Amino acid sequence: MHPALADITRRQFVARTIASGLAVAAAGGLRAAPAARAAEPSLADGTLQAFADTMIPGSPATITDLGLPIHPRAILGVDGRPGAVEADSLAAGRHPKIGFAALEPAFLADLEARALPLGGPFLELDWDRRVQACLAGLDFGNPARTLWEAAAAIPFVAFCAAAVAPAQRADRASGYRVMGLPGEAPNGYKRASYRRKLARSRTTTGNLP
């Protein structure tokens, strides 16, 4: 086997392992969130945030739900509501339980290789060209598609599952607020009661309606 093909195979294996970890994160959340960083986002940070903004776009913001900084060019603001960047997609991808760090350099290299012919680094592209680069990366003809699948899963887990939110509640997770989900409630919801009498009637066939 050619070394390059072997390398892709290894990356695909790691990517599928990451996908399994993301499924676990979606089910239960990554409770131990990484510590906040005071440093401004690096170019790699901004590029990953820009990618997350392309997957689930959002409104301009300077900090995430965890209070982490957002690169000033990451969010293009094509949606008026919070998106994956504000929901801490970057922190989710960097979480040690996810393991995306093993794939990050290869993914960023492929991302930039597709962005440069469109006008420059991914972080500097406009919305349409970012979308064009991502469509090319996620195309079934791309041998590195598995890398992209792993990368694309992270924004959705961060946004839809509040994976690294300090608490999986709407008041602490912007993704839940956008989707209209109240989130966890240790003491239940007062207006969501199941204290109703069970129906004892039968249909003509004996089956419940």
The predicted-structure confidence for 170-206, as pLDDT tens digits, reads as follows 888 999 999 988 877 766 666 665 566 666 666 677 6
What one-letter code names the amino acid at 75? I
Cα gap 96→172, rounded to integer Å: 22
Distances (CA, A) of 183 to 29, 44, 63, 110: 12, 31, 22, 36
Reported for 6-9, long-range contacts at CB under 8 A and 24+ positions apart, including other chains, are 8/143, 8/144
Tokens matching residue 146? 């598995």
Q: Which residue has the tokens 């957002």?
A: 70
Q: pLDDT per residue over 92-114, tens digit each?
A: 999 988 888 899 999 999 999 99
Instruction: Write down the pLDDT at residue 33.
Output: 47
pLDDT in tens, 46-97: 999 999 999 999 999 999 999 999 999 999 999 999 999 999 999 999 998 8
H/E element, 28: helix 3-28
Q: For residue 169, what are the β-bridge partners? A: 183
pLDDT at res. 112: 97
**DSSP states of 140-185:** TT-TTHHHHHHHHHHHHHHHHS-TT-SSSBTTT-HHHHHHT--B--
Residue 171 has a pLDDT of 86
Q: Which of 165, 170, 163, 164 is nearest to 185 (CA)?
A: 170
